[in-house]
Amino acid sequence: MGFVAFFVTFIAAAASLQGVHAAAVSEKRGTGQLRWEGPVFRDQAWKPIYASSVDTLWDEVLKTNREFVMDVPSLSEMDQHVPGRLVCGSDTKIATADSRQIEAIMTRLRGLGGKWMIEGNRCHRIACRDKVGVYWCNDNKHNIVTSAVEIHLRLSRISRGCCNLNGVFNGSPLSGVHFFPANHREAAHSNLVIGYADCKDPANTDPARYRFPGPVGGGTCQA
């Protein structure tokens, strides 16, 4: 899929997104939550919110500002080189996911904008729908913060660089890991994962718990 086509797809997906029911979140951290800070109101200072996932955050933002406008990536953003190492499919040893919901997850995450913080020595599942999970794993001892833009770029790299999907997310199996480069100014020694998830499991479940190939698609995911 070319970048212009992806841009059009992103706009269409953003227009069709609907809020989903989720537990309430707040500015006080609860169990199994990450800190997000971003532009709930475009003309006001960024607001910190603790949420367990992209979808719970989305619900909280819309509850606070019913006229929230999604942040849309520019063509130049989507066309930029994304440094870091990409590993796909069986090489990850992580079970493959059903790819049908990944585009909607990525669109919502990028549309919220802002920055996310994760604690040290932790994996957190930042999104989960229909047997696909998006995980952020921090191998540092300290907390790190990075932008939704940086996360989205790496998820896009996985979704378009792994499993020969060619931008068609029709339920084909998908799994991959993208490692931030060691010299990244914010998120070095962390990585983003797309792989299988059981949404009933805790948000801090390590994606490596689900071993390749898993229940979705078998061993058909390749780079």
190 part of a folded domain: yes
Mean pLDDT along residues 104-119: 94
163 part of a folded domain: yes
User: Torsion angle of alpha carbons 210, 212, 217, 221, nearest 10°?
Assistant: 130
Task: Please write the tens of the pLDDT for every residue from 17-72.
Answer: 433 333 333 444 556 899 999 999 988 999 999 999 999 999 999 999 999 988 87
144 part of a folded domain: yes
Number of compact structural domains in the chain: 1
Domain that holds residue 120: 3-209
pLDDT band at 220 (very low <50, low <70, confident <90, very high): low
Q: Is the pLDDT of residue 185 over 80?
A: yes
